[in-house]
Amino acid sequence: MQQVSGVPPTESLFGSFGKKQFENVPKNDSVSSIAAAPYFANAAFLPDYRHIFTAKAKTMLKTLLKPVALLTLMLGAALPASAETLHYNVVEFSESASVELLRDTMTVNLRVHEEGRSRETVSGNFVKKLNNVTRKASAAPFKSELLHRSASPRYEYDSKGKRTQTGWEEQAVVQVESKNFEALNKLVAESRSDADLESLTFKVSKQNRQDALDEVSQAALARFKDRAAALAKAMGFRNYKIVRLNFGQIGSRPIDSGTPVMMRAAKAAAVSDEAAAPVPEHTSPGTEEVSITVRGTIQM
Q: Of 261, 266, 268, 265, which is closest to residue 286 (Cα–Cα)?
A: 261
Verify that 95 and 120 share a domain, yes or no. Answer: no
Give the residue ranges of DSSP H helices in the chain: 10-23, 30-41, 50-83, 119-137, 181-190, 206-234
Q: In CATH, what number is assigned to the domain containing residue 141?
A: 3.30.70.600
Q: Which of 162, 185, 203 is the last residue of a domain?
A: 203
Q: Decide if 29 is inside a domain.
A: yes
Q: Which of 159, 176, 203 is the last residue of a domain?
A: 203
Verify that 112 and 130 share a domain, yes or no. Answer: yes
> Which pLDDT belongs to residue 14?
43
Q: Decide if 145 is inside a domain.
A: yes
Q: Of 184, 185, 177, 195, which is closest to residue 133 (Cα–Cα)?
A: 195
Q: Which of 203, 231, 265 is the last residue of a domain?
A: 203
> Which pLDDT belongs to residue 152?
93
Q: Decide if 127 is inside a domain.
A: yes
Q: How far apart are CA 70 and CA 74, in angstroms?
A: 6
pLDDT in tens, 30-80: 444 444 444 444 444 445 555 555 666 666 656 665 665 655 555 555 555
Q: Decide if 21 is inside a domain.
A: yes
Q: Decide if 79 is inside a domain.
A: no
The Cβ-side half-sphere exposure at 231, using a 13 Å CA radius, reads: 19
Verify that 209 and 297 share a domain, yes or no. Answer: yes
Verify that 222 and 90 share a domain, yes or no. Answer: yes
Q: Are 221 and 246 in contact (CB under 8 A)?
A: no
Verify that 220 and 245 share a domain, yes or no. Answer: yes
pLDDT in tens, 178-203: 999 999 999 999 999 999 999 999 99
Verify that 223 and 94 share a domain, yes or no. Answer: yes
Q: Are 19 and 11 in contact (CB under 8 A)?
A: yes
Q: Is the peptide bond before 9 cis (omega within 30 degrees of 0)?
A: no
Number of domains in the chain: 3
> Which pLDDT belongs to residue 159?
85
CB neighbours (10 Å) of residue 182? Answer: 13
Q: How far apart are CA 255 and CA 101, in angstroms?
A: 9
Verify that 100 and 215 share a domain, yes or no. Answer: yes
Verify that 288 and 231 share a domain, yes or no. Answer: yes
Q: How far apart are CA 280 and CA 180, in angstroms?
A: 13
Return the amino acid letter for 179: K
Return the amino acid letter for 46: L
- For residue 24, give every residue at least 6 positions away whose Cβ sits within 8 Å of its Cβ, in sequence order, or none: none
Q: Decide if 180 is inside a domain.
A: yes
The Cβ-side half-sphere exposure at 242, using a 13 Å CA radius, reads: 15
Return the amino acid letter for 86: L
Ordered per-residue pLDDT tens for the chain, 300 residues: 444 444 454 444 444 444 444 454 444 444 444 444 444 444 444 455 555 556 666 666 566 656 656 555 555 555 554 445 656 889 999 999 999 999 999 999 999 999 999 999 999 999 999 999 999 999 989 999 999 999 999 888 888 888 888 899 999 999 999 999 999 999 999 999 999 999 999 999 999 999 999 999 999 999 999 999 999 999 999 999 999 999 876 777 776 665 544 433 333 433 434 444 454 555 678 899 999 999 999 998
> Which residues form the domain of 239?
86-104+204-300
Verify that 227 and 282 share a domain, yes or no. Answer: yes
Q: Of 108, 120, 109, which is closest to residue 170 (Cα–Cα)?
A: 120
CB neighbours (10 Å) of residue 15? Answer: 12
Q: How far apart are CA 82 and CA 222, in angstroms?
A: 31
Q: Decide if 78 is inside a domain.
A: no
Q: How far apart are CA 116 and CA 130, in angstroms?
A: 16
Verify that 284 and 146 share a domain, yes or no. Answer: no
